[in-house]
Amino acid sequence: MKRHGSALHPVNYTLWYEYVRGENPALRAAMDRYLAQHLQLDDAIADAMYRRFVTGGGIDATLIERTAEGVSTVLTGMAESAARAGDQTAQYGTSLSRLSQELAGSAHSPALEEMLNTTRQMQVAVTEMQQRLSDSQNEIGQLRAELRRVHEESRLDSLTGLANRRAFDQRLAACLAEADTPARRYQRPCLMIADIDHFKRINDTYGHPYGDHVLRAVGTILKEVTPADCLAARIGGEEFAVLMPSSSLSEARSLAESVRLRVAAARVRRQGQDDDATRITISIGLTLFRHGENGTAFMERADQALYTSKDSGRDRVTVLAG
């Protein structure tokens, strides 16, 4: 990637990973043809090839995440190999240095002089190799850090900073699998689903930038009140969820009421309208996991409780017991 001027970002990682794997002959042929004529593969060309030969259209976040994991595994192996080579090179350099010192004190016959010069040259080569290995390890470390960042960002909602739907679905599946084990038999998770009231009217009246401002404000409140062992996520346009793996139903109800009251008390101001703040409310549905049900059924019951809150006048919490 570095040799061909490819920037280090998710689409390029995926493109080059597919190229190196060799399982996409159309992509490989297209890249070979292009690189034969142009040394550099800029972002515009890379993006076009990615869309044409890898996803057939849009950006596939799941593929990017899978690629990041694969490349990270490769980089881990490279880093370990570089570290081992560095240790071996250092040991060899020490031996050469000792030998050089011993030879320097000996009578300088032509054979010994030649050996001394060769040893000195080897010392220089070993030092250069150690520097290259060190540089490689640093570069691998930077790549791994970038991949970790990409992985984390692929699980976040870019607008609110909360977990996104894919991260929520993964955590929900893991949580329910654990909840059905004997060790968690008497500790059932709770699920809260919340929806901003009259959000379409807000967008239609004040515009989508203000709607985004409202979403961010609700996201901030959720981040502030959600306990560390719980997960708050934006799972739809104006819909949010909080998964509470270890909370009792009464604790979950208290959290839901806290969210509702915080949102109702907030005043979201429009840009340039300091004296004109809009009151926002939120409706919430809450339920307790039933052993043996899947994630879809669990969410449908939380949705049912949410619809009851909407039908009952909004700005309220409805609990549907398990």
Which residues are designated catalytic?
Answer: 238
Query: Measuring CA to CA, how many Å separate 185 from each of 11, 170, 181, 202?
Result: 43, 21, 6, 43
| φ, ψ dihedrals at 279, nearest 5° | -85, 130
Largest CA distance in the chain: 103
Write down the residue that tokens 């080059």 correspond to. Answer: 16
CB 18 within 8 A of CB 11: no
Write the single-letter amino acid at 317: V
Query: Measuring CA to CA, how many Å separate 100 from each of 94, 96, 106, 108?
Result: 10, 6, 10, 12
CB 93 within 8 A of CB 126: yes
Pairing of strands 282-288, 317-320: parallel
Q: In a 10 Å sphere around its CB, with 0-12 CB exposed, 13-18 middle and 19+ buried, how is residue 145 labelled?
A: exposed
Alpha helices in 105-164 (DSSP H): 110-153
Query: Measuring CA to CA, how many Å separate 75 from each of 4, 133, 288?
Result: 19, 14, 43
Write down the residue that tokens 């309220």 correspond to. Answer: 316
Whole-number Å distance between alpha carbons of 72 and 10: 12
Name the nearest CA neighbour of 318 among 172, 194, 189: 194
